[in-house]
Structure 1
Amino acid sequence: MFLDILVAMLWSISPFGEAKLGLPYALLNDINIYLAFVLCFFANVMVFPVMTFFLDVVNRYLLKWYHYKKAAIFVGRRAKSGAGKNVEKYGFWGLMFFVLLPIPGTGVYAGTIASYLFGMEKKKAFLANTIGIFISCLIVWVTTVIAIGGFN
């Protein structure tokens, strides 16, 4: 069970699935439905401070290298094009809505990058990302619980 919880949390912090993959993994491996929600949610929330540190400190140093800079510009453009219209027009609410969509490419990683690129205040960006993650987790959690047999 501990290994399943650890894997679910690792999926929840992974940019390849976030809690959209961690929650179903935990629930399909018979982890308590409430424990799975809380752990996957908090694991996904922890991405924001790590990404913020990376963007503020590490990114500035790595931009000196051509190949990294080229990749960073590509990722930045993708995040800006995906969330740009919402964040630019609606600010906090646009970012929150972008992050809450439980579809690939709209999670906390893209939301953090978009808030960084648009110069959003970190406290507001954190709150928007956290609320978005919570709603996204709620959607995935309820859908998965219902799909595997309900709230027994």
Structure 2
Amino acid sequence: MLKYILTFLISMVPLVELRLGIPIGVGMGVKWSYAVAICMIGNMLPVPIIFFFARKVLEWGKDKKYIGKFFTWCLEKGHHGGEKLKEKAGKGMFWALLLFVGIPLPGTGAWTGTLAASLLDLDFKKSILAVTLGVVLAAVIITAATLLGFGAFTAARS
């Protein structure tokens, strides 16, 4: 039971999300299909909260003594990056957000994509759909890489 809980919790951590949750879950002995389902749920669970509240928390904290500089940096970075993405994507913002979340690179993922969507005042339903499909894409990529990696490791040990 502990390995399922750890797999779930890891998938909720910003920056690593299911990109680390799936390989660790499979590495701990969780069946890959269960690890994928658990991680997708864990990865998506914080998304509505991030969409509606992260921006408010950052704006609230931007003028606070100890956290203000960091919160201001997050807001500026998110807004600047989002505007750049918006310029490049144009009317293809849905697809840009989907690919941003789905292609597992450092600094991308559901947390960052959702925060960007919130900072850009994108439509909630379209943003959630794009992020969800991005999480599915990331899960497919990470699962394939995990299974191929563990398969090669197992074959090398035989």
Interval of TM-score (by shorter of Structure 1 and Structure 2): 0.7 to 0.9
The amino acid across from 1:47 in the alignment is: P
Unpaired runs of 5+ residues, structure 2, are 153-158
Measured against aligned partners, the alpha-carbon deviations of 1:106-146 in whole angstroms (never above 9, x if no partner) come to: 10111012111222100000000000001101110122112
Distance 1:112 1:36, change over 3 A: same
- Of structures 1 and 2, the larger Rg is shown by 2
TM-score by length of 1: 0.84
What is the alpha-carbon distance in structure 1 between the residues aligned to residue 88 and residue 47 of structure 2?
A: 19
Unpaired runs of 5+ residues, structure 1, are none
> Of the candidates 136, 140, 146, which is equivalent to residue 138 of structure 1?
140
Distance 1:79 1:41, change over 3 A: farther
The amino acid across from 2:78 in the alignment is: G
Who is 2:149 aligned against?
147
What is the alpha-carbon distance in structure 1 between the residues aligned to residue 73 and residue 120 of structure 2?
A: 19
- Superposition deviation, residue 102 in structure 1: 1.0
What is the alpha-carbon distance in structure 1 between the residues aligned to residue 71 and residue 151 of structure 2?
A: 47
TM-score by length of 2: 0.81
Tell whether the 8 Å contact from 1:84 to 1:114 is kept in structure 2 after alignment: no
Aligned residues: 149
SS at match of 1:133: helix
Tell whether the 8 Å contact from 2:17 to 2:43 is kept in structure 1 after alignment: yes
What is the alpha-carbon distance in structure 1 between the residues aligned to residue 71 and residue 55 of structure 2?
A: 15
The amino acid across from 1:45 in the alignment is: M
Who is 1:54 aligned against?
53
> Of the candidates 69, 72, 77, which is equivalent to residue 70 of structure 1?
72
What is the alpha-carbon distance in structure 1 between the residues aligned to residue 25 and residue 71 of structure 2?
A: 36
RMSD value, Cα:
2.3
